[in-house]
Amino acid sequence: MVKRPTPSLGSDDEDGDNDVNRRRLDPLVRALLGHLPQAHAVWPPQERQKWLQLLSEAFGVIYKDAPDPPKGAAGASQHTGGPVQPPGQR
């Protein structure tokens, strides 16, 4: 990935307020945001895909997955594979 200058995420906007600072973004997400090109710049689809993949992997590191529901829990899908018939054609 091409290194680009990191925009200042700490500067205040016109109102003296900055949503990015108030949210206290994870440093990994901040670093990735710093690699975004300027708005309206050329950004090839392959490079965008690489960046999105990195962001997805970062989310996997930062956030926990919800626990799997216990087997047989109410509302759990009982589908065991194979083709699914449209409603009314079973």
pLDDT in tens, 16-73: 456 656 678 899 999 999 999 999 999 999 999 999 999 999 999 999 988 888 887 5
pTM: 0.51
Q: What does the alpha-carbon distance between residue 21 and residue 9 come to, in Å, rounded to a whole number? A: 7
pLDDT at 88: 66
Q: What does the alpha-carbon distance between residue 70 and residue 82 come to, in Å, rounded to a whole number? A: 22
Residue 2 in this model has a pLDDT that exceeds 80: no
pLDDT at 44: 97
pLDDT at 12: 46
Residue 34's closest CA among 10, 17, 68?
A: 10
Q: What does the alpha-carbon distance between residue 78 and residue 72 come to, in Å, rounded to a whole number? A: 8
pLDDT at 35: 92
Phi first, then psi: give them for residue 66, nearest 5 degrees: -70, 145
